[in-house]
């Protein structure tokens, strides 16, 4: 469910020609409380489409390191 929601949001933002892929990556991470810095380090890039694949692989792993908790 989370992956589909993120994928849909990436597609929506990608339709906005004023946003770069970096902007989309950071926007989606912020909206879904994902730790963009840690995910960027794990991916080696700031590609929102790579983010979708990365989140898909987390379904069976512990996503705790990638979620940004709000205090």
> Which residue ranges make up each domain of the chain?
2-62
63 within 8 A of 36, measured Cβ to Cβ: no
**pLDDT for res 71:** 40
Q: Can you say whether the dihedral through the CA atoms of 39, 36, 21, 49 is positive or negative?
A: positive
**pLDDT for res 19:** 94
39 within 8 A of 54, measured Cβ to Cβ: yes
> Is residue 9 scored above 60 in pLDDT?
yes
DSSP symbol at 56: H
Q: Please state, rounded to an integer, the average pLDDT across all residues of the chain.
A: 86
């Amino acid at each position: 469910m989370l992956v589909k929601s993120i994928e849909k949001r990436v597609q929506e933002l990608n339709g906005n020609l004023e946003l770069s892929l970096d902007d989309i990556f950071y926007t989606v991470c912020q909206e879904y409380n994902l730790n963009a810095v840690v995910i960027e380090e794990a991916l080696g890039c700031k590609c929102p489409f790579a983010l979708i694949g990365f989140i898909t692989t987390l379904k069976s792993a512990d996503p705790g390191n990638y979620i940004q908790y709000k205090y």
